[in-house]
Structure 1
């Protein structure tokens, strides 16, 4: 069953790009910007990651951490992070556990082919571990600015 606005996030342990095991509860006490993207090193995903990178300090000033999630393995995440100087954590969701919890593992169609993949989406989790905002079927252009503005409004800025 997918998590809904106002619900607590079920803790799922995944590996980070550094090989360490991570749970979302590790970040309680901070806001979490959890964004799901299809694949490292692709144009849209690179643009989105770099937008989050470029606004990383703005999110940090609002007591928020950014976490990217895709099915790519640790080595791909590590390479992607290094190449683009990403200052935030990337999680390996190769079994789609977190993607299924957030209902972003979807049947997709591209050039007449059907396959399962990540639907680009972002979620805002409050300091107590509850889902408070979601953006589904995200278009990359201006998305990070919108997420930042939403967080500012929630923080009263």
Structure 2
């Protein structure tokens, strides 16, 4: 489970639209990587819309924003179109990146235990090191907090 100061685990994942995205290829730009459970659910939609609304501010600061879930690129494309999202959505269908970042965890709902993605965000500096980590994210105000931390890099 990577923490602040660790080198961010590198990855190459497909995004809707067909191209692959490689984290290390984004250097020296800082990157926000946010993990979310599922496309088109209430909290995940609110989070994606919040990041999308701040995309001009992230772009002005030279910061890339990537959302990652285990949904397929086809689901990502529908999600993006339905909500006019501006963030890159990457597909981690086999869960390898979720595992590398320690966000594939046991969850519990109504007493039933299951495995799922913990909502978490990683701010990766231009040097490839993790500058800040947010775990068990609550959506309201989160994108704004990430933007402020990213601008401070």
Structure 1 residue 61 displacement after superposition: 1.1
Report the equivalent of 2:37: 38
Structure 1 residue 26 displacement after superposition: 1.9
Alpha-carbon distance in structure 2 between the residues aligned to 1:121 and 1:10: 15
Alpha-carbon distance in structure 1 between the residues aligned to 2:4 and 2:100: 13
Alpha-carbon distance in structure 2 between the residues aligned to 1:136 and 1:12: 20
Q: Normalised by the size of structure 1, how large is the TM-score?
A: 0.93
Report the equivalent of 2:115: 116
Tell me the SS of whatever aligns to 2:121: strand
RMSD of aligned residue pairs (Cα, Å): 1.1
Pair 1:77 & 2:76 matched: yes
Structure 1 residue 110 displacement after superposition: 0.7
Report the equivalent of 1:19: 18
Alpha-carbon distance in structure 2 between the residues aligned to 1:4 and 1:50: 26
Structure 1 residue 4 displacement after superposition: 2.4
Report the equivalent of 2:60: 61
Structure 2 stretches lacking a partner, 5+ long: none
Alpha-carbon distance in structure 2 between the residues aligned to 1:85 and 1:51: 12
**How many residues matched?**
153
Cα shift readout 1:37-79 (whole Å, capped 9, x = no counterpart): 0000000000000000000111111110100000101110000
Stretches of 4+ aligned residues off by more than 4 angstroms: none
